[in-house]
């Protein structure tokens, strides 16, 4: 039976647009449906508007730093939220438009509509029946709220980008990427911020030294840290909100943000009609070729809930299109994915944490902390840089590199190439530094700080 399309992609975000565009470039007849905004989360309510706001938040402190370098101190007025919002929205609209145009340019048929399964090869696309030989599910995820009384009074990450004004006092619940980034944005723009998280340190999953340094940096910029707290209730008291838990913990604010994770957008997609049995709120299971349990249906990006990052989504979408239509079967690797948390100062990392590496065998640990040159002059508190290398004792390969400090994300991209190529500590040591930079510390870490993982080796 002839199908309307060779490939139908559900979702016009990072993963879906790349997959559809590349498949069309290989000559496939492709359609992509997007129900909300072209470019998806990254462009509209994620990486892009977030990074613009991170930049905005940093400028305030830089203006103060500049005074120590002889510049007049100009920070007499409060930040102009409306001006920032307008500039941000203009950029987001521009980028979202580019995503739409990229598809049109590649010859993809675009549907501005929601797509749901009717049967394994048929979709309802905004009321129209469309068939496809292969289907890629790239529907992303949605922010979640905690199931506590008053949760509906709280905001989710999308809401930061539609707020009309900076809340004077904000509570951010969560200790992950979005929570710490949002806490720094709000604080940097002038809000009083409480960060409430259930663990002793924020950023579970990151290296322990980095987590401790992150907590220090957050506190130094005036963010009130509330570790080991799982809130149980939000209530409206007069014109403000109160977050509480069962003992006498209570915090008041004008806005409460839930930054407590995201869940895959599988609800109402008709997966059962496609023959897929997926538990609500969980990622769609796929094999290592991103094939679901139904062989002609694939799932990529945040909807599989594996590594929820834009470059991972696009890499996988691209590889899948090359595999299916480009006569170039290949996989994007989930190993050694570099990542950054754009808090202030940012964290960037690639490879294994000390704990992960030590569980596999003996490792040499190199750690350094220092005040970057800019802040020996500015005297700004809480800007100490942390750099760390985790090195396999047997092979001397770099298993992990971690940094908290200014420009860490820019620095870690290059380190990621070296780590991915299997660079050793000796390769790092023989590289000539660029002076004077913070980055040169990565190639001048001469003294081992400690050894870890000896117990794992003994077992």
Ligand X SMILES: NC(=O)c1ccc[n+]([C@@H]2O[C@H](COP(=O)([O-])OP(=O)(O)OC[C@H]3O[C@@H](n4cnc5c(N)ncnc54)[C@H](O)[C@@H]3O)[C@@H](O)[C@H]2O)c1
Q: Which of 26, 290, 296, 435 is catalytic?
A: 435
Binding flag, residue 400, ligand X (CB under 6 A): no
**Is 110 or 226 the residue whose CB approaches ligand X more closely?**
226
Note the Cα 59 to chain centre separation in Å.
Answer: 22
Residue with smaller CB distance to ligand FAD, 6 or 302 = 302
Q: From the list 83, 101, 204, 450, which residue makes contact with ligand X (rule: CB under 6 A)?
A: 204
Q: Is the dihedral of CA 316, 319, 321, 324 positive or negative?
A: negative
Binding mask 129-148 for ligand X (x = CB under 6 A): -----------------x--
Sign of CA dihedral 240, 170, 208, 400: positive
Q: How far apart are CA 161 and CA 88, in angstroms?
A: 9
Choose from ligand X, ligand FAD, none: what does 12 bind? Cβ within 5-8 Å by kind. ligand FAD
The residues facing 299 across adjacent strands are 137
What is the distance of C-alpha 200 from the center of its chain?
A: 22
Minimum gap (Å) between residue 41 Cβ and ligand X = 8
Query: Tokens standing for 129?
Result: 């029946």
Contact letters (x/-) for ligand X, 161-180, by CB under 6 A?
A: -------------xxxxxx-
Is 435 marked active-site? yes
If contact means CB under 5 to 8 A according to the sort of partner, which of ligand FAD, ligand X, none does residue 42 touch?
Answer: ligand FAD
Going by C-alpha positions, the residue among 302, 392, 398, 388 that lies closest to residue 347 is 388
- Token representation of residue 306: 């594996």
Closest CA to 92 of 316, 100, 179: 100
330 binds ligand X (CB under 6 A): no
Distance CA 281, CA 423 (A): 39
**Paired tokens of 440:** 């040169």
CB 391, CB 363: distance < 8 Å: yes
**Residue ranges in contact with ligand FAD by CB under 6 A:** 10-16, 33-37, 40-42, 46-47, 50, 114-116, 138-140, 157, 178, 265, 269, 301-302, 308-311, 313, 342
Residue 337 binding result from ligand X, ligand FAD, none, given CB thresholds of 5 to 8 Å by partner type:
none
Of ligand X, ligand FAD, none, which one does residue 346 interact with (CB within 5 to 8 Å by kind)?
Answer: none
Site residues for ligand X per CB under 6 A: 146, 174-179, 181, 197-198, 204, 230, 259-262, 308-309, 339-342
């Amino acid at each position: 039976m002839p199908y309307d399309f060779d490939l139908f992609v559900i979702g016009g975000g990072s993963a879906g647009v790349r997959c559809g565009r590349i498949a069309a470039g290989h000559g496939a007849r492709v359609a992509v449906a997007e129900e909300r905004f072209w470019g998806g989360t990254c462009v509209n309510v994620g990486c892009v508007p977030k990074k613009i706001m991170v930049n905005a938040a940093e400028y305030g402190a830089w203006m103060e730093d500049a005074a120590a370098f002889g510049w007049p101190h100009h920070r007499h007025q409060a930040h102009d939220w409306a001006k920032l919002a307008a500039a941000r929205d203009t950029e987001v609209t521009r980028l979202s438009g580019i995503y739409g145009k990229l598809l049109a340019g590649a010859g993809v048929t675009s549907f501005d509509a929601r797509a749901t399964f009717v049967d394994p090869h048929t979709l309802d696309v905004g009321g129209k029946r469309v068939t496809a030989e292969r289907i890629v599910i790239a529907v992303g995820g949605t922010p979640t709220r905690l199931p506590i009384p008053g949760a509906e009074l709280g905001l989710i990450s999308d809401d930061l980008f539609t707020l009309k004004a900076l809340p004077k006092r904000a509570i951010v619940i969560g200790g992950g990427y979005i929570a710490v980034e949002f806490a720094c944005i709000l604080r940097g723009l002038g809000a009083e911020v409480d960060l409430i998280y259930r663990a002793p340190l924020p950023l579970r999953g990151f290296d322990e030294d980095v987590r401790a340094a992150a907590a220090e940096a957050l506190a130094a910029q005036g963010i009130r840290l509330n570790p080991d707290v799982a809130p149980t209730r939000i209530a409206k008291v007069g014109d403000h909100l109160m977050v509480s838990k069962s003992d006498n913990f209570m915090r008041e604010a004008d806005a409460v943000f839930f930054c407590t994770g995201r869940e895959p957008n599988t609800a109402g997609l008709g997966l059962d009609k496609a023959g897929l049995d997926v538990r609500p709120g969980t990622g769609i299971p796929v094999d290592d070729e991103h094939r679901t349990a139904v062989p002609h249906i694939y799932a990529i990006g945040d909807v599989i809930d594996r590594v929820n990052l834009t470059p991972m989504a696009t890499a996988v979408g691209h590889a899948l299109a090359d595999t299916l239509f480009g006569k170039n079967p290949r996989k994007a690797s989930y190993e050694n994915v570099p990542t950054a948390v754009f808090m202030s100062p940012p964290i960037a990392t690639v490879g294994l944490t000390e704990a992960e590496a030590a569980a596999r065998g003996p490792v040499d640990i190199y750690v350094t902390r220092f005040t970057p040159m800019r802040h020996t002059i500015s005297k700004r508190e809480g800007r100490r840089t942390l750099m760390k290398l985790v090195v396999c004792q047997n092979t001397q390969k770099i298993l992990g590199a971690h940094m908290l400090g200014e420009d860490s994300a820019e620095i870690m991209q290059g380190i990621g190439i070296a780590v991915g190529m299997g660079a050793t500590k000796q390769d790092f040591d023989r590289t000539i530094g660029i002076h004077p930079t913070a980055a040169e510390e990565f190639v001048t870490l001469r003294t081992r700080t400690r050894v870890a993982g000896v117990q794992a080796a003994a077992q």
